[in-house]
Amino acid sequence: MQTSHRVLKNTLILYGKTGITMFISLYTTRVVLRELGADSFGVFALIGGIIGMFGFLNGSLAAASQRFMSFAHGEGKPEQQQKIFNISFGLHFIAALIMVISMLSIGPLLFEHVLKIDLDKLLTAQRIYQFVVASLFFTVLSVPYDAVLNARENMAFFAIIGFIESLLRLGVAMAIAFVANEKLLLYGFLMAMIPLFLAFIRAMFCHMKYVECHFALRRSYDLALIKSMTQFASWSFISTAVAMVSKSWEGIILNTYFGTTINAAQGIANQLSGQLLTISNSLLRALNPILVKTAGERNNEKMLRTAMSGAKLSFTLLAFCIIPISINLSYICKLWLSSVPEFAIIFTQLLLFRSLIAQLSMPISTCIAASGKIKGVSITGSVIGLCPLAVCAILYKHGYQPPAIYWAYICTTIVRACITAPYFAKKHCGLHVKKFLINVVVRCIIGTGITLLASLWLKTLLPEGINQVMITSAVSSVLLIICVWYIILDQTEKEHILNAIQSAYTKLNRIIVIKQTESSS
């Protein structure tokens, strides 16, 4: 199957899952916020952020596992894949123990000296912290299985797992509605059980279906491979650690200056932006293993060409949702939530804008990771990633409003997308930087800029309400489609899309003819 067809097939599978789980997740948030209240919801969001801060080690190992597994798959070496799985599982088991011990040790210090949580919720928050720490152990152990599924491009299983997870989260939200007391404690316990259940399903499926998922730790011992994976994970560790610490301390800094209510607004923004990001991430999840496999085939030209097309598509797919939602967010939040926390709307809009910019460089960053040379980009990205925290700590002391931290992150995201990622992609993969900036960045900004300005102008002519949302959404979608075709895509990409559509139409026609023949006979 051609690369474009594989990407299209896997993306459509993940989109089908996204379309279902998005609405389930958004409704789940509404129910949870209503049942827990803004303060309790903010407490859970804060603890979740802290746990994420300590997940940086897992993130770096996960990057190494997925890169090496997909690379070996591209090289066509099944024995190497089994070695990588076993080494990855061993490393993740050690990482899981380190994280659990570290988090349990530092927990008392956080609750006594760092976090601002009301006394009546403090004991509950400490118990939830312990629940989530325990669940993280099993989440870490499931990463090698995700690497296998990713290398095998089994997006159908990812879709099923995502659907099950959404249903379980909805079930938890509905369950706490029937409890009079200790709702926050019950919610934290049940949410912690979900990763354990999903990790068990992943492990059972992979061991039954894939030969590389066979435990043979002694036979798989390969010092050179362990060293190579550990080096890659070490440099990935730096950038992942900064990203996770930055994300978690974002919540802690906001909590320090503005209390737990602002964490509720942050939690709402993260929830909505996270759901929308699954749209573009569906394409990236389908695209990334192909990019790494292509690197394993030693075909950098094809890899970079695919990455640039993927950057355009992921950017525009996210823009399709972000533009109408952002300009109508105030009305949408009133319908979605019974009570909208202060700053939730502006937080969400800025976070969506930042996420949109980040799409421009994500496939290029995958190419850099596929090369295995991530030392420079990790160090540079880490320095840039720490800047917003330091800047905002100063700004808040001088009376700046909470959204300042999101503006700071937007600035660093622009630097990464337009300067650091293209530079290191040129150095390690041979990217033509000028071509990338003009063909990807400039085209995307012009196309979406025209759509956004026209949609904002149209909004000013219409009264707030459901009609305004429907009309602006329809017009922005049509305008963006026109801009994508005439501004964002180049001639080669248009031909690939037309060929993919023609191929899909031909296959559908053939299926219809076969069905008609069978029914007539």
Q: Which two tokens stand for residue 54?
A: 């300590």
CA angle 494, 499, 504 (to 5 degrees): 130
Query: What pLDDT sits at residue 179?
Result: 74
* Residue 209: partners with Cβ closer than 8 Å, 6 or more residues away: none
Structure tokens given for 506: 């031909």
- Retrieve residue 280's tokens: 């573009």
What is the value of pTM for the model shown?
0.70
> Which residues have CB under 8 Å from 253's CB, separation 6+?
389, 392, 393, 396, 405
Residue 66 has a pLDDT of: 72
Q: How many CA atoms lie within 13 A of 328 on its CB side?
A: 25
How many residues can be counted in the chain?
521
| pLDDT the model gives residue 515 | 66
Give the chain's residues under pLDDT 70: 1-19, 22, 26, 29, 35, 37-64, 74-76, 113-116, 180, 217, 220, 240, 244, 248, 275, 278-285, 338, 504, 515-516, 518-521
pLDDT at 1: 47
Say if CB 296 and CB 71 are below 8 A apart: yes
